Amino acid sequence: MIAEGAKQFGRIVDRLLYRSTARWRSTAVVALLASTFGAEAAHAYTITITAGTRSIYLQVGAGGYTGTNASGGTPGNNATINVVSVTVPNGVVGSGAAQAMTSNSTVSQSPIDGFAFCNPPSQVYIGAWSRPGSGTGVATLTVTSPANLTSGSNTIPFSQISWVMSGNGDTVFQFPNGTFTGGTQTLGTLARNTWKEQCMTFSYANTVLPAAGTYTGRAVYTLSLP
């Protein structure tokens, strides 16, 4: 998703779902909606991109680049919702044994230069860049989530879902590891004409015993430029 001359650049949506049967066979799902945009060749990390018209770009999961930035590719919008899920074995539900989540996102290559940066299905790509044009503002990346996943009147704290940032060949991480807190969290800032990217690995804490049902919630990723 691209925004030109806009204060908010993309709204990337996560839909979290937790399903529990009467036999405590449990599933947690994160659905990540994607969006997209351009810059200079390099492998991930923070890179400097060419200046241009005021615009910002955000991608979580599937994106909309045609080609790569290094090959003159062009960004576009992509409304794909990627699903991240885990099935918790009956015998360990609520045991506190964290469960790794996997995604249906197939994005492994950086849209910067095609470098194989992420490792699906265990990782989900996240990347953003900012071109403030003639302005000097710093773009801010945030994620907002509700307090709970819900199934009727039953709830699971959104804080049961966490993430770890990494990337192949990456040694300096641009966005922090974290846990959803049921509010708005700042993931990072982007200076003028820079692109940052990482790969997110999600985990379900598995420290609660939910009633049987399907639990859903939504987290929204937003890139803003004043």
CB 178 within 8 A of CB 64: no
Structure tokens at 199: 């790969």
Tens-place pLDDT, residues 117-149: 999 999 999 998 888 887 778 999 999 898 998
Tens-place pLDDT, residues 176-194: 999 999 999 999 999 988 8
Looking at per-residue pLDDT, the higher value among 214 and 60 belongs to: 60
Rounded to two decimals, the pTM is 0.77
CB 84 within 8 A of CB 29: yes
Q: Strands, DSSP E only, in the chain?
A: 2-4, 8-20, 26-33, 46-48, 55-60, 81-88, 99-100, 102-103, 124-131, 139-144, 148-151, 154-157, 161-166, 178-179, 184-190, 194-204, 213-224
Across the chain, what does the average pLDDT equal? Answer: 75
Structure tokens at 54: 């005021």
Domain that holds residue 68: 2-224
Ramachandran assignment for 44, one of left (phi > 0), alpha (psi -120 to 50 degrees), beta (any other): left
CB 127 within 8 A of CB 199: no
pLDDT at 1 over 50: no
d(CA 215, CA 79): 23
Looking at per-residue pLDDT, the higher value among 144 and 31 belongs to: 144
| Low-confidence winner among 123-127, 170-174, 211-215 (lowest mean pLDDT) | 211-215
Give 48's pLDDT tier (boundaries 50, 70, 90).
low
pLDDT at 58 over 50: yes
Residue among 11, 180, 18, 155 at smallest CA distance from 83: 18
pLDDT at 97 over 70: yes
Residue among 172, 156, 168, 177 at smallest CA distance from 28: 156
As for how many domains the chain has, the answer is 1
Q: Which pLDDT value is given to residue 113?
A: 80
Q: Which pLDDT value is given to residue 142?
A: 93
